[in-house]
Amino acid sequence: MTTQKLTIGWIGVGRMGYQLVTRLLDAGYDVAVYNRTRSKAEPLTEKGAIVVDRPVELASRNLVFSMVSASKDLEHVMLGDGGLLTGEESPRIIADSSTVSVEASELIRAAATERGTAFLATPVSGNPAVIAAGKLTVAVSGPRETFDEVETVLRTFGRGVTYVGDGEVARLVKIAHNIFLGVVTQSLAEITVLAEKGGVSREAFLSFLNDSVMGSIFTQYKTPALVNLDFEPTFTNVLLQKDFDLGLDAAKTLGVVMPVASVTRNLVAQEVGNGNVEQDFASLVLTVAGGSGLQLVSENADVSDGLEAP
């Protein structure tokens, strides 16, 4: 069977899932979707998707993706009432793109394997704007032959798909990535406040940084938020704290010391405790500035996030 003939199911069409389903539909795939709040999935019918009422209704599909918020959510949509793996049929392949614990993933992998379903862990790096720019990346672990079978589908998501090994190792790759994301953002907030308090505008400092060898796609992407104080959420402190906790649990199990990550996790947890739960995590810069006796105001500058097509 060619990949274009695969029938695809999708569980969880939040901000990320909605955009990825759209890319699959635009590429000509036959996609059926389930979302806990059905109304959020309904607009996809205008693009050709089928909307179902329970995950188990996707069990006849060849390949089913899941993208949910937490480990308990993954267990529910797979094994709970009306779950994907609770009916008479099972999909041939499950690809889970959630950021969940290794233990939760192993539980679902075992249940899928028992029913003859191959299971891939396929966590992604990016957000809706990154997806729209075609720059999403995917880490994949599980049976190599299953990855080879669906690699073309995964490449619909963006610019990079990396097979990282067997079992659950893609989970560790994603969690390590998100720890780095948090540490870099905290550090970026600190040095940006340092420069501004010394008399340099945030726009000028970040322009210099982005053009230097220390600049990156990520620092440029966060530049508009830091310069113009636009904290429309792409990733909240609540989700970041969850990933820090997953990563530090893994570090404890593997005997890895992570002092910088531990300190940053506590700073993020403090943000959550203080009620910063809906803004983007780039809002960490406000706390750094406040602790430094600096009140930030938007610079209202026309700065690029670096995601435009060349």
pTM for the model stands at 0.90
Check: CB of residue 22 under 8 Å from CB of residue 155: no
- What is d(CA 143, CA 138) in angstroms, rounded to the nearest whole number? 16
Q: Could you tell me if 80 and 73 are in contact, meaning their C-beta atoms sit under 8 angstroms apart?
A: no
- Per-residue confidence of the chain (310 residues) as pLDDT tens digits? 455 679 999 999 998 999 999 999 999 999 999 999 999 999 999 999 999 999 999 999 999 999 998 899 999 999 999 999 999 999 999 999 998 888 899 999 999 999 999 999 999 998 888 998 889 999 999 999 999 999 999 999 998 999 999 999 999 999 999 999 999 999 999 999 999 999 999 999 999 999 999 999 999 999 999 999 999 999 999 999 999 999 999 999 999 999 999 999 999 999 999 999 999 999 999 999 999 999 999 999 999 998 875 4
DSSP-derived secondary structure for 205-251: HHHHHHHSTT--HHHHHHHHHHHH-----SSBHHHHHHHHHHHHHHH
d(CA 246, CA 87): 31
Residue 194 CB neighbours (<10 A): 14
The listed CATH number (3.40.50.720, 3.30.420.10, 1.20.1110.10, 3.40.50.150) that belongs to domain 3-167: 3.40.50.720
Helix (H/G/I), strand (E/B), else coil: 133: coil
Q: Residue 10 forms beta bridges with which residues?
A: 33, 65
Ranges of beta strands (E only) in 25-176 are: 30-34, 50-51, 63-66, 93-96, 118-121, 124-125, 137-141, 160-165
Calculate the CA 184 to chain-centre distance.
17
Retrieve residue 177's tokens.
């990535």
Query: Percentage helix, strand, coil, to 5, in the chain?
Result: 50, 15, 35
Return the H-helix or E-strand segment holding 10: strand 7-11
pLDDT at residue 69, rounded to an integer? 86
In the block, tokens 């990154």 appear at 130
Query: Residue 251 has what pLDDT?
Result: 96
Residue of 123, 171, 162 whose CA lies nearest to 144: 162
The per-residue pLDDT for 2 is 54
CA dihedral of 216, 219, 222, 224, whole degrees rounded to 10 = -100
User: What are the boundaries of each domain within the chain?
Assistant: 3-167, 172-291
**Level-2 CATH architecture, domain 172-291:** Orthogonal Bundle (1.10)
**Cα 227 to the center of its chain, rounded Å:** 24
What does the block give as tokens for 88?
């008479």
